[in-house]
Structure 1
Amino acid sequence: PPPAAPRHPRSMGAPGRDGELRRTFPAFTPRALGEDGGFAETWWGNAWVDALERGALDAKRLARGRGYAEQGNVDAITVTPGLVLAYVQGSRPRPYRVQVRLRTLDDADWDRFLDSAADRTGHIAALLDREMPHALAEGGVRLLPGPGDLEPQCSCPDRGHPCKHAAALCYQTARLLDADPFVLLLLRGRGERELLDALSRLSAARAARAAQDRGPAPLPGVRATEALAPRRLPPLPAPLPTPPHPEQPPVYPAAPGGPDPFALDQLATDAAGRAHALLGTGRDPVAELTLWQDAVRLAAARPGSGLTAATRSLYASLAAAADRTPADLARAVAAWRQGGFDGLAVLEEPWDPPAGRFDRARPLLLAADLPAFRPWRNRLTHPRGHVQLRLGRDGLWYAYESDPGADDWWPRGTPDLDPVGALTGLGASPEG
């Protein structure tokens, strides 16, 4: 059999092994050359690129490496203290293993760096915003490399300093530094959490020492006779009179992708009316409503009849918020417009009325030459099943209609104390 093709790892990245002192970054996508020709975007990223280019011995290798970086030939990058690792795809099928070394800082350097960072709170805030202040990076401890500080190594046979594969990794590392300057601090030997914890402790210790040096501030004194003397507070001003009516809301402009200005106007008008009622009576008229009942009330308050495109959108959003369907909401709106809160209760809550008004309704219907309606709980249904009367807890009769033989009842007409009056205008004749 033919010899098997050599197998090699596709990536050096192992995010599962990452920790405080090891970070793996996915490969960058190919990028186009910027208008100004610069590879990095931040001053510290450009300082890294400057150290690479000023320490290079062959400009052509640098150009080839930059091209590799821009084409996305650098795989996932792993950063540990003093080391950047990645596979870089060159002209051969097998990628090359590349690493770039940078000297880590010793404990004394880190102590000076922490003191410099804690001297100004703006330095810590800038680091948290993923910014690197000039004074912090170029102060007593130099964080950024200079020419010759970067030590590249590559598994390719090219012995250039650096080879094009190492140059590509250095260019892509500048993009890492653009996005997160803590990558530079990790290269110098300390992880982000360790640094932030140390800065927090140092800042707290300095604040405590400063407070101790200042001593307690003297408290202003008051003579006991003045403190214990009886005082009469001035009366509260009289409340302003309640306005006669709520004001009109402003006109809301329509914006692409923004909320419906008509819906905003409706909500603002409703909120103003509720606030006016609360100011005048001390009670919110809709405070006791459930989410579903309030959704029905808002939909019923929208003027007009028929389901326009805007109304369908409103019904769909309100119904979804209450976990109902738009058809449920449309039927409930018809009931609300028929009798308000009591009309909605008649639609959704069958109940057993006491003897009296309900029992007298059937003789009244027979006396009006109507057929004998079938009773069930608080409902009387025409024998043909297309007209129904429902007695509400408010003592009113509510008329409903449905297609014959279908159990699809919709509120119709105006509620009335008289069951015959509630059927006025509906098809409830003896033959109908």
Structure 2
Amino acid sequence: MSDIHDEVYGAEGGDRRADGAANERTFEALPPAHGRGFAQTWWGQAWLKALEDTALDSGQLKAGRRLARAGAVGAVSVRPGRITAVVQDRDGTPHRSDVLLQELSPEEWDRFLGMAIERAGHIAALLDRDMPPHLVEDSAAAGVELLPGIGDLEPECDCEAWDHCGHTAALCYQVARLLDQDPFVLLLMRGRGERELLDELHVRSLTHADAPQQCEDSQDAAPEGVSAEEAYADGAILPPLPGLPALPSEPGRPPTLDTETEPAQDLDVAAVEFLAAQAAVEAYRLLADALAPGHKRHTAEDELTACEDAVRLAAADPGPTVEARLATVSERGRSDLALAVQAWRYGGRAALRVLEEDWVLKEDSLARARAALEAAWDEGERPELQASRNRWTVVGTDVQLRHGHDGRWWPYRKERGRWTPAGPAAHDPATALAMASGSE
């Protein structure tokens, strides 16, 4: 494939802008994606929706998924307005495939950068390789569409297909995996690389901070100060609050109980120290969640019940004495507590509910679940599943999928006659089933 690789990427390995600055990123070929979804993040899923809403032939999409899952997509070149890769057919024939995406205009970039300067949290989220929904919403409000829509992903392939073919579809499915890892890939397609973008924001932030204040004696100068009533009526008048302190690198250490004073006769010092340490860990988790982008849009969870909290504590390996007490509090025996702990470690309260409860899906939830099962495998590849309430068992095996209230799929495997959690939840049932099958 060396000849076609040189044709696509050039003998030196990459295009550059006329000013010499790197204007391309090349990502090594990703490993095969057997039994897993291609997009785990919401923006990766939005990318695939643009592809699937645009393509006229669903058969070509299925062919693309097969090629991508088989690892037929080579190194992916990403540059403004275009992604490129060599995709091999099942018979090994290589094809140069490109997908084009309209770059943002200078005016659109100007509006985007101006919006970003006013909302520094957006850039902080991108640096954490996250793309919060409100970043896209604020960009759209400024007249800048970051994510592609119907018809925005234009295919070009040397197989001469006039619409999306299996090769360009495979490229898009593979790029969804790259977008999951780094949303700056999308911004590069839209015209600006990460370094260039951050440099421009830095310059703008300095200019914004050094902007000359309006002359006090100007006839158009605003009155000095406003009334408190007016300030509170219009929050935009108030100065911005200082930034939140950074999250510590690890939970704090609780006070030591190793003092010269003898503990009370009935006090289990080791148990108290364990509880204090776990309180610090839980406080750290709550703080990290509160500081995460988009936290204010999340619904507050109900407090854990005593039984749920006992499982949470048991998952921290408290030792046999405390574990025995927790088994009593949680109203479970040792073996049932061990099973609950295994579920908790895979997914907390949601995983525990899936372990201990079953329910009849409502009609709309059942329809979505069936649609997900139909789309997860290509025709003829789907295993035979027997449904019972929210549980689907693979006929003739000890493997099961359980559907959670949030629409995710949980892998289970029967061990010593008991259904046992086999991994974390997945949005794609094929991914969950692969985890359950792989635990053999």
Band the TM-score falls in, shorter-chain normalisation = 0.3 to 0.5
- Kindly name which structure, 1 or 2, has the bigger radius of gyration based on alpha carbons: 1
Asked which structure has the greater RCO (Cα within 8 Å, sep 6+), the reply is: 2
